[in-house]
Structure 1
Amino acid sequence: MGVQARTIAVIDDDLRVLESLVNLLASCGYRAEGYCSAEQFLDADALSRMSCIITDVEMRKMSGLGLLHHVKSTHSSVHVVIITGKPSENSEAFYLERGAVGFFQKPVDGDALVDLLKSVC
C-alpha cells in the first residue's frame, strides 16, 4: 500500500493545530481528514477507512483517551497517536500501554510525527 492510499484522521478542537497537521500530512502524500471532536469523527462513520488517527487528549466531551479506548476495542488494527498541549500526570508510557503507537507534546515535531507514521501506517 503506497502512502497515497493511507488515510489519517486528525482530531483536535484547536483549529490551528488541526489545519496545520492536516496540511503537513497532505504535503507528505497522505490523505488527511480533519475533525473538531471525537464525536464528529465517530458520527462521520470514518473509523473503518482510517489507517491511523492522531488525536488530542483534552477535548470537550470525549477525550483522546476515551477515543483510544473505543478504537482499540472496536478496530484494533487502526493506529492511534496521542498529542497534547497540556502537561498531565499521564506520560508517554501511560498512553503506549493503552495501545497508542506514539505520543507528542504540542507543538508537535512534524518531522518526528511523519517518521513515526512511515513506520506504523
Structure 2
Amino acid sequence: MRGSHQSKIAVVDDDVRILESLQDLLESAGHSVCSFSSAQSLLEDDVLPEIDCLIADIGMPLINGFELHRLARDVRPDLPIIFITARPEAATQKRAAAQGHQGFFRKPFDGPALLAAVKHALLASSQGK
C-alpha cells in the first residue's frame, strides 16, 4: 500500500497451526494481521471495512471459504481474496476461479509465492481505487 499505511490482512482458517504460520509469515513481510479460527468470528468482529486483503481456507465448518467470500463481497465488493485449501480436487480450484480470487494455494503452500500473491492483490486493489 502507499505511504506509511501498513496493510491489514485477515486470515481465516480452522487450523490454529496454519493461522500462526501465516501470521508469522505476513508480519515478517511488514503486514498487520488479524487471525480468525472461523468465518463466523471474522464476521462478528466487523473487521471487513478495515482490512486490505482476506486469506481464507475453503474447507471450514459451518461457513466455508466460498460462502465467506460471498458474504465479504456483499460488504466489500473490491476486497481481494486469496483462497487456501487442503483439498486436492480440481473442481475446488475451478469453483474458486469462477468466484474470482487473487490467489489459490494448496496446503502446504510456498511462503514466498503466497507473499507475492498478497503483494500483487494489494497493488491491484490500490490501483483500482
Q: Which amino acid aligns with 2:112?
A: D
- Cα deviation for residue 91 of structure 1 reads 4.0
On the 8 A contact 2:11/2:35 being kept in 1, the answer is yes
- 1:101 corresponds in structure 2 to 102
- Cα deviation for residue 99 of structure 1 reads 2.0
Worse overlay, 31-40 or 2-11: 2-11
1:6 aligns with 2:27: no
* Number of positions where the alignment pairs a residue of Structure 1 with one of Structure 2: 121
SS in 2 for 1:33: strand
Closer/same/farther in 2, CA of residues 73 and 100 from structure 1, 3 Å limit: same
Structure 1 segment 17-56 matched on structure 2, within 5 A: 17-56=18-57
SS in 2 for 1:108: coil
Q: Sequence identity of aligned pairs in percent?
A: 34
2: distance between equivalents of 1:114 and 1:92?
A: 19
Q: Report Cα offsets for 1:27-86 as digits up to 9, x if no partner.
A: 000001110000000000001101101010111110000001112232111111100012
Whichever structure has more helix as a proportion of its residues is 2
1:86 aligns with 2:82: no
On the 8 A contact 1:84/1:105 being kept in 2, the answer is yes
**Structure 2: gaps spanning 5 or more residues:** 123-129
* Large movers: runs of 4+ above 6 Å: none
2: distance between equivalents of 1:2 and 1:56?
A: 30
- Give me the TM-score of the superposition, normalised by structure 2: 0.87
- Cα deviation for residue 88 of structure 1 reads 2.9
SS in 1 for 2:91: coil
